[in-house]
């Protein structure tokens, strides 16, 4: 208990850092994932090819490698003074977007094809059909797998601690260097991760229940 009480402010900072990284990366993942899913089912061949390459490349690339590219390649190519939090958010967000895209694409495939054809028959564009007809119905199917994806994202943010970001796993190194019992450090960090992941799971269960009622 002394590990927690003596370093409460540090644990709070790490907990808040993990929350911020998870939330910002999830936002990037959802926005990019929905767009890429649209590309994957687009009638335009170049967009389909781009979406396929995006998903295939990112799903089969280790996240640590993406962090190395983000922190050591991107600043040299784009801008040298990019914030470490932004780089970590982009690395986690783009990586997770590939999994979000596949979940969304699977949800899109559950919507009867006739509805999209009917939308086109009344003059709606592909973008309008996706936004107004397909995606609202696909959301019910997409919610359950997104819960697992974002729980995995929460744990993936631990890699950011090795790249100048303060988060839960990062503070374990600080406390370990100060001589605290490593077992108790990991116990409290595990509890903190469980709080976040259980909150995400509960939020998505509530959302899933509300969508089921709406059906």
In this predicted structure, the answer to whether residue 7 has a pLDDT above a threshold of 70 is no
Q: Flag whether pLDDT at 215 surpasses 50.
A: no
Output the CA–CA distances (angstroms, integers) from residue 26 to 23, 72, 92, 105, 153, in the order listed.
Answer: 5, 23, 8, 17, 8
pLDDT of residue 3: 62
- On the question of pLDDT at 183 being above 90, the answer is no
How far apart, in whole angstroms, are the C-alpha atoms of residue 88 and residue 66? 9
Task: Kindly report, residue by residue over 9-21, the tens digit of the pLDDT.
Answer: 777 888 899 999 9
- Which of 86-95, 107-116, 154-163, 202-211 is modeled with the greatest confidence? 86-95
| Rounded CA separation 153/147 (Å) | 10
- Cα separation, 151 vs 45, in Å, equals 33
Q: Of the given ranges (33-47, 77-91, 117-131), which has the lowest mean pLDDT?
A: 117-131
> Of 211, 196, 63, which is closest to residue 144 (Cα–Cα)?
211
- Residue 15: its H or E element: helix 8-40
What is the mean pLDDT of the segment spanning 76-87?
A: 84
Tokens found for residue 169? 């796993």
- Say if residue 54's pLDDT is above 90: yes
Mean pLDDT of 110-115: 78
Contact 105, 37 (CB under 8 A): yes
As a whole number of angstroms, the longest Cα–Cα distance in the chain is: 70
């Amino acid at each position: 208990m002394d590990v927690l009480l003596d370093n409460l402010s540090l644990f709070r900072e790490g907990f808040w850092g993990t929350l911020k990284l998870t939330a910002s990366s999830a936002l990037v993942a959802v926005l990019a994932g929905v767009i890429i899913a649209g590309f994957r089912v687009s009638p335009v061949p170049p967009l389909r090819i781009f979406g396929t390459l995006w998903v295939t490349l990112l799903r089969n690339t280790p996240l640590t490698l993406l962090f190395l590219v983000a922190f050591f390649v991107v600043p040299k190519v784009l801008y040298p003074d990019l914030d470490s939090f932004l780089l970590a958010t982009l690395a986690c967000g783009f990586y997770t977007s590939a999994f979000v895209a596949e979940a969304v694409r699977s949800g899109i495939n559950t919507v009867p094809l006739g509805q999209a054809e009917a939308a086109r028959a009344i003059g709606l564009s592909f973008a309008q059909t996706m936004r107004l007809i397909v995606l609202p119905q696909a959301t019910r199917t997409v919610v359950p797998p997104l819960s697992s994806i974002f729980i995995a994202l929460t744990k993936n943010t631990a890699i950011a601690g090795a790249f100048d970001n303060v988060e839960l796993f990062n503070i374990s190194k600080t406390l370990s260097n100060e001589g605290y019992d490593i077992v108790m450090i990991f116990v409290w960090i595990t509890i903190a991760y469980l709080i976040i992941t259980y909150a995400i799971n509960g939020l998505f269960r509530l959302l899933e229940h509300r969508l089921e009622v709406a059906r």
